């Protein structure tokens, strides 16, 4: 099959020709370069209207035959999307070939799966307006985790604009970071979700205030000294932001049991991010693939490749139904070109388990060792291991006193990041997710919230089950809070992980919320609905 792909979601006017028999991809792109600041929607649309005909003409001059026209249907800037869609419709009609509408974000991850040859990987999308961790389950790419505020590329660009650097800012930050040293910045991970707003505010504050001549930063990382060198802040931005992305990717691998990770999105061109992910996967014995740069930045090649898969599956669009969707989320796409497999693998207890946070030795007791993560800066890594070990010991014991089944803490070594606990349960909840079990868990989380703290990472891998009881384990990301927002995020983390692992998600979600409602605050469930609407492109 020979496909002409057209991409134009924001800044890159691009056309490509893909021949599925040879696997050859020809790409021609004409990116928009703003004179100052970030992308201006009106200027981007003007550029798109001028550049799209040119790139299509150049690609068609090299094409033998076109069997399908595929275009980026969303997400993106509405005016740009409409220009591309109009060009695609006109071309499909003039050539009398089928039309395919492609989700831009799914194309980012599918090109990685296609080029890697992986069967069912976890996918990290790190692009300008987005950051997602996804896995294929129940016929869709489920969002296991995502940014709760701004996309990773946009966050870096905002910092660069603060310094009056031209767009795009990411490569300039990467270049200045080469001569930097580490200074603490906020680090916000909630299960597999994350936030960049706090770190960007701290980074801006760090470079604009008068220098104090010292670096006595808070040990919690919630503040940095004023007047830091720009090189140091750039270095620390990369170390912190990319460590967050690597951590949530590892947590997704641990949750699903997958041993494959692919990277997509323009920020994936950053060598430090690719290096962190490769180191993380190597330590886990997992395989990692990042496509070549021309397939990472916005491009029509990925649109054409996915367009071929969709057309082969019969997933084409009548012209009258080919409207664009600026808010088109990846988890809204019915994946017609794949079978019924799932990224989630069955899990069984072994003598040694490599989790996202620690290596766990299962004997008469359980010994958890938060070994240093090579991909993280040593100072950041030491702080996280110490804080999370202390949190796990403290909150495990506190939850037990509140009546929630947890293991007894036998011993703690904060310096080594080691904790010894009673061995509880016969298996993880992930090995036997049922409505009855998740209903019980909902009640447990309501009890924790009533006591003024959250679990922080309540996934099916952090719940143990026996015939009689359902236990909560691994409170390393937990913290004290009475905020409704934090309690709702705890529920959101569980439901997101449930969507990527449970066979009967809707039934289990209803049972989970019923269990919470019986013992908890209805306002938390109301806030949960609000949080669900905050995902990118809602």
How far lies 277's CA from each of 32, 102, 122, 151, in Å? Answer: 30, 27, 12, 18
Neighbours of 321 (CB within 10 A): 9
Please list, residue by residue across 353-379, b when 16 or more beta carbons sit within 10 angstroms of its beta carbon and e when fewer do: bbbbbbebeeeeebbbbbbebebbbeb
CA-nearest of 292, 334, 327, 336 to 130 is 327
> Annotated catalytic residue: which of 331, 381, 457, 490?
457
Q: Distance (Å, rounded) from C-alpha 166 to C-alpha 504? A: 48
Question: For residue 180, how many C-alpha atoms fall within 13 Å in the half-sphere facing its CB?
Answer: 23
Q: Distance (Å, rounded) from C-alpha 462 to C-alpha 444? A: 13
Strands 99-103 and 68-74: parallel
Three-class DSSP category at 269: helix
- Whether 411 is catalytic: no
> What is the separation of C-alpha 352 from the centre of its chain, rounded to a whole number of angstroms?
27
CA-nearest of 108, 133, 139 to 341 is 139
Cβ-count burial of 263 within 10 angstroms (0-12 exposed, 13-18 middle, 19+ buried)?
A: buried
- Are 460 and 429 spatial neighbours (Cβ–Cβ below 8 Å)? yes
Could you give the residue numbers annotated as active site? 457
């Amino acid at each position: 099959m020979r496909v002409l792909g057209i991409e134009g979601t924001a800044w890159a006017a691009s056309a490509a020709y893909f021949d599925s028999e040879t696997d050859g991809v020809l790409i021609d792109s004409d990116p928009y370069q703003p004179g100052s600041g970030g992308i201006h929607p009106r200027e981007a649309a003007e550029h798109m209207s001028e550049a799209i005909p040119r790139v299509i003409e150049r690609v068609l001059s090299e094409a033998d035959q076109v069997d399908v026209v595929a275009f980026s249907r969303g997400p993106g800037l509405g005016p740009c999307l409409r220009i591309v869609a109009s060009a695609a419709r006109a071309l499909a009609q003039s050539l009398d070939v089928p039309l395919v509408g492609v989700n831009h974000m799914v194309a980012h991850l599918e090109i990685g799966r296609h080029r890697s040859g992986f069967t069912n990987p976890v996918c990290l999308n790190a692009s300008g307006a987005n950051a997602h961790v996804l896995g294929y389950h129940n016929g869709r790419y489920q969002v296991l985790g995502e940014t709760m505020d701004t996309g990773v590329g946009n966050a870096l660009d905002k910092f660069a604009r603060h310094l009056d650097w031209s767009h795009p800012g990411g490569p300039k930050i990467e270049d200045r970071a080469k001569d930097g040293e580490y200074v603490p910045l906020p680090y916000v991970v909630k299960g597999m979700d994350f936030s960049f707003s706090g770190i960007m505010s701290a980074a801006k504050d760090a470079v604009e205030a008068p220098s104090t001549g010292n670096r006595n930063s808070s040990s919690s990382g919630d503040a940095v000294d004023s007047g830091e060198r720009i090189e140091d802040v750039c270095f620390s931005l990369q170390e912190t932001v990319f460590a967050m992305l690597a951590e949530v990717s590892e947590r997704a691998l641990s949750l699903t049991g997958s041993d494959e990770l692919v990277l997509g999105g323009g920020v994936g061109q950053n060598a430090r991010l690719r290096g962190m992910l490769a180191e993380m996967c190597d330590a886990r014995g997992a395989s990692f693939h990042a496509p070549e740069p021309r397939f990472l930045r916005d491009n029509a090649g990925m649109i054409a490749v996915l367009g071929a898969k969709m057309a082969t599956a019969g997933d084409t669009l009548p012209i009258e139904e080919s409207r664009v969707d600026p808010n088109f989320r990846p988890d809204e796409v019915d994946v017609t070109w794949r079978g019924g497999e799932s990224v989630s693998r069955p899990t069984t207890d072994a003598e040694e388990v490599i989790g996202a946070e620690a290596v766990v030795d299962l004997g008469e007791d359980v010994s958890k060792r938060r070994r240093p993560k090579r991909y993280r800066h040593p100072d950041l890594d030491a702080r996280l291991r110490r804080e999370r070990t202390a949190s796990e010991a403290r909150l495990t014991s506190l939850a037990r006193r509140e009546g929630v089944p947890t293991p007894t803490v036998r011993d703690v070594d904060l310096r080594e990041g080691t904790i010894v606990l009673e061995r509880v349960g016969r298996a993880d909840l992930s090995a036997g997710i049922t409505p009855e079990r998740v209903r019980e868990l909902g009640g447990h989380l309501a009890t924790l919230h009533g006591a003024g703290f959250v679990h922080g990472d309540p996934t099916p891998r952090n719940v143990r089950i026996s015939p009689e009881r359902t236990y909560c384990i691994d409170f390393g990301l937990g913290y004290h809070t009475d905020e409704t927002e934090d309690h709702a995020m705890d529920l959101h983390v569980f439901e997101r992980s449930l969507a990527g692992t449970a066979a009967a998600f809707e039934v289990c979600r209803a049972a989970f919320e019923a269990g919470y409602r019986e013992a908890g605050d209805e306002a938390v469930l109301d806030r949960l609905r609000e949080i669900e609407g905050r995902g990118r492109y809602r």
